[in-house]
């Protein structure tokens, strides 16, 4: 009987929270800047991303999944480099009115492609952290985000890059 009472109480507390869950879709683009080992082979480039964030209105914590394509500029005789990414992040929203700052961190899979005949595609894991700001209210608005990514590559050191993204969210 105690277990049943506990489950009923837990459902009453968490039930309204689950009903208030919000799903937001986002799309953005911006500048990608290689750092470290990657900077030796590539130049500043661009990226595009799309994602979905699930959050609960009463909690400052959410979960985001996003996918992106990063195309780096060519640096001299080096081949062009591009990275296709898929990442999952934990998002913590800080208090704000009109502008809502947030921090996020997570991990992802990064598929690196070199424009060289016979080069193999490699998929590696990586981690990332970001600081951003949501702009607007009532479900529609924009966002701006600065993200640092560290991809652990097998045999070629770590690929690191920084992104500055501007986009819309629904």
* pLDDT confidence band for 8 (50 / 70 / 90): low
Q: Using one digit for the tens of pLDDT, what is the confidence trace for 132-168?
A: 999 876 667 899 999 999 998 776 678 899 999 999 9
Q: Within a domain: residue 15? A: no
Q: Using one digit for the tens of pLDDT, what is the confidence trace for 56-99?
A: 878 899 999 999 999 998 877 667 888 999 999 999 998 877 78
Q: For 110-120, what is the mean pLDDT?
A: 71
More confident residue, 77 or 47: 47
Q: Within a domain: residue 150? A: yes
Q: Within a domain: residue 4? A: no
For residues 1 and 25, give the distance between their C-alpha atoms in angstroms, rounded to a whole number. Answer: 43
Give the model's pLDDT for residue 4: 56
Q: Within a domain: residue 158? A: yes
Q: Within a domain: residue 1? A: no
The position carrying tokens 């979960």 is 63
**Number of residues assigned to the chain:** 170
Q: Is 162 exposed, middle or buried (0-12, 13-18, 19+ CB in 10 A)?
A: middle
**Residue 50: pLDDT above 70?**
yes
Give the model's pLDDT for residue 17: 47
For residues 123 and 149, give the distance between their C-alpha atoms in angstroms, rounded to a whole number. Answer: 15
**Residue 11: pLDDT above 60?**
no
Q: Within a domain: residue 38? A: yes
Domain count, the chain: 1
Would the CA dihedral through 102, 107, 108, 114 be positive or negative?
positive
CATH number at residue 75: 2.40.160.20
Q: Within a domain: residue 119? A: yes
For residues 165 and 167, give the distance between their C-alpha atoms in angstroms, rounded to a whole number. Answer: 7
More confident residue, 114 or 166: 166
For residues 136 and 146, give the distance between their C-alpha atoms in angstroms, rounded to a whole number. Answer: 18
- Per DSSP, 155 falls in state S
Please report, for the chain, how many H helices and E strands are present, in that order.
Answer: 2, 8
Give the model's pLDDT for residue 26: 95
Q: Within a domain: residue 2? A: no
Give the model's pLDDT for residue 139: 63
Domain that holds residue 85: 21-169
Q: Using one digit for the tens of pLDDT, what is the confidence trace for 12-36?
A: 555 544 446 789 999 999 999 999 8
Phi then psi for 17, rounded to 5 degrees? Answer: -65, -45
Q: For 111-132, what is the mean pLDDT?
A: 81
Q: For 37-52, what is the mean pLDDT?
A: 90
């Amino acid at each position: 009987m105690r277990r049943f009472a506990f489950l009923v109480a837990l459902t009453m507390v968490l039930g309204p929270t689950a009903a208030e869950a919000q799903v937001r879709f986002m799309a953005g683009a911006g500048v990608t800047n290689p750092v470290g080992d990657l900077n030796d082979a590539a130049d500043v480039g661009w990226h595009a991303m799309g994602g979905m964030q699930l959050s609960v209105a009463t909690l400052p914590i959410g979960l985001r999944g996003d996918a992106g394509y990063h195309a780096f500029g060519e640096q001299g005789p080096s081949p062009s480099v591009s990275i296709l990414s898929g990442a999952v992040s934990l998002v913590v929203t800080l208090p704000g009115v009109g502008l809502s700052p947030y921090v996020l961190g997570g991990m992802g899979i990064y598929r690196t492609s070199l424009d060289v005949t016979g080069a193999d595609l490699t998929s590696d894991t990586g981690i990332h952290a970001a600081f951003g700001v949501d702009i607007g209210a009532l479900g529609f608005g924009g966002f701006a985000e600065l993200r640092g990514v560290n991809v652990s590559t097998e045999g070629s050191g770590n690929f690191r890059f920084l992104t500055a993204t501007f986009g819309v969210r629904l």
